[in-house]
Amino acid sequence: MVAGSTCAPCLADPPRHDGIAAATLYNDASRNLVLAFKHGCRLGLAKLMAQLMAARLAGESRSEWLIVPVPLHRWRLWRRGYNQAAVLAQELARLTGGNLAIDALERRKPTAALGGLGRLARRRELSGAIRLAERRKDRVRGQSILLVDDVLTSGATSDACVSALKRGGASRVVVTCFARVLDEALDVT
């Protein structure tokens, strides 16, 4: 895809975000890295993943970003031991000089794992689940936000986050992720 172009899904259903910067497409290789990082406690992969993500932000004024990770519900955080998006956000802040707001968003209610759910089911599951933290409203208002996640699948989670940030007065929200699922890029045989 050419930088600055709009993908087919975004043309069909215009997004709330102001752009996506993905390091790579979701495929077998990126899936293995994500699973090792997310579920295998291979936190050392965060530096490499964040470097690849930062490379996609080359045209942006990096130090002006407020870097916000997609939140995990506290029960999932306790089970896993870390929020993979927050680990990536910390690395991106270190690499770019952007400001980190690790607790700007809150996941108010636990949600089921979204894998295997369709776009509509994902949106329903996330309805009312994510909000802007009351104590961070002043920090978000008027800011350009870099929303960080490991994988962008249907966009339901990022849409919920972007909506919360924009309701809180964010001027711009760009989503960055390590891997992006694009159905049209999958090898269909």
How many CB atoms lie under 10 A from the CB of residue 187? 6
State the Cα–Cα distance between residues 170 and 165, nearest whole angstrom: 6
State the Cα–Cα distance between residues 52 and 118, nearest whole angstrom: 28
Indicate whether 189 pLDDT > 50.
no
The stretch 12-31 carries a mean pLDDT of 88
Q: How far apart are the two ends of the chain, measured CA to CA in Å?
A: 22
Q: Quick one: pLDDT band at residue 188, thresholds 50, 70, 90?
A: very low
How many CB atoms lie under 10 A from the CB of residue 139? 17
- Domains of the chain and CATH, by start: 12-184 (3.40.50.2020)
Contact 43, 36 (CB under 8 A): no
The stretch 140-162 carries a mean pLDDT of 93
Burial of 78 (0-12, 13-18, 19+ CB in 10 A): exposed
Q: Quick one: pLDDT band at residue 36, thresholds 50, 70, 90?
A: very high
3-state SS track over 37-104: HHHCCCCCHHHHHHHHHHHCCCCCCHHHCEEEECCCCHHHHHHHCCCHHHHHHHHHHHHHCCEECCCC
**Residues 11, 86, 122, CA angle at the centre, nearest 5°?**
40
pLDDT of residue 135: 94
Compare 18 and 58 and report the one with higher pLDDT. 18
Residue 123's contacts (CB-CB under 8 Å, 6 or more residues apart) are 156, 159, 160
The stretch 84-89 carries a mean pLDDT of 97
pLDDT of residue 124: 84
Indicate whether 22 pLDDT > 50.
yes
* Two structure tokens written together for 7: 């993908």
Q: What is the DSSP letter of 3?
A: T
pTM above 0.75, yes or no: yes
Indicate whether 152 pLDDT > 50.
yes
pLDDT of residue 165: 97
